[in-house]
Amino acid sequence: MKKLLLSLSLLALAACGGDKGASNAPEPPATPEPPVTAAESGDAPQVPAIVEFVWHQKAEGFTEEALWSHADYWSNVAGEADWGLMVATVMTPRIANDNFDFLWVMAWPSQEARDNAWADWGANHEPGWLELTQNTFTYSAEHAYGFAPSPGRPASARNTSGSSVVEFIFCEYKEGKGEADRKAFEAMHAGFMDSFEAEVGATSYWWTVMTPLFELTDQNTPDYMWTNFWATDAEREAGYAAYGESAHAAKAMEDADCQDPALFDSRVIYLPQA
């Protein structure tokens, strides 16, 4: 399990920086709001069927400017190919990882859309992409990991910056515990957020629980990956300070064995055109 958490610490939207500064990077589109519920929209829930994380390694010629330039190129390809992609992001871990330097994350409406997109990519786009990016980064589809998301309470304030702070927590249920216990905790957590925001005002915080769509052969596969989203570190710190004093904080430890949170800076690179 620990090996997975060190290697899979996955999810959201990479921060700008690098030798030439953020001014050389294209502006990210606004961060998408969490998926709405059927009750809020009047239609079917806009929830991805799959969120997929692909490991990427930096090459010798890597620069932030080159990364965002290539991401912009890829975004145009995705739009013209009309894969049905719901959103894509680049996510960078704050603690160095031996297995990847950053993650390319894609949200798909269905398994069929995902499979068709990968097939089109391999047949029509990948050879040119590999040549274009060979001095900047490398990747392998062998290390693409899919999760099924189940969003919790939506954010009450929209994050329009295009960037966010994302936290992944891998958990395994304790003996005798399961999904019903986790959902009970989520209901308590939603109530806590209602009370918290009644005092401090609306926040951009929301969460989703992601279930792995893969099985690991050499270790236990986590039961779920709890994923938190904030617009800023200050918002995260304020939320955790209040959560630490809440009545329901201990319940999470009673229901599951969870690893330490893995923090990522995340940046949107693709949204479908309206």
* Closest to 148 (Cα-Cα) out of 246, 60, 214, 220: 214
Q: Tens digit of pLDDT for each residue in 171-187? A: 999 999 999 999 999 99
| Confidence band of 274 (pLDDT split at 50, 70, 90) | low
| CA gap 243, 93 in Å, rounded | 24
How confident is the model over 66-92, as a mean pLDDT?
Answer: 97
pLDDT at 40: 35
pLDDT at 251: 83
Q: Tens digit of pLDDT for each residue in 40-62? A: 333 444 799 999 999 999 999 99
pLDDT at 148 over 50: yes
- Residue 25 neighbours by CB under 8 Å, 6+ apart: 16, 18, 64, 65, 68
Q: Which carries the bigger pLDDT value, residue 229 or residue 39?
A: 229
Q: What is the mean pLDDT of the chain?
A: 86
pLDDT at 219: 79
Which domains, from first to last, does the chain contain? 2-270 (3.30.70.100)
Provide the whole-model pTM. Answer: 0.84
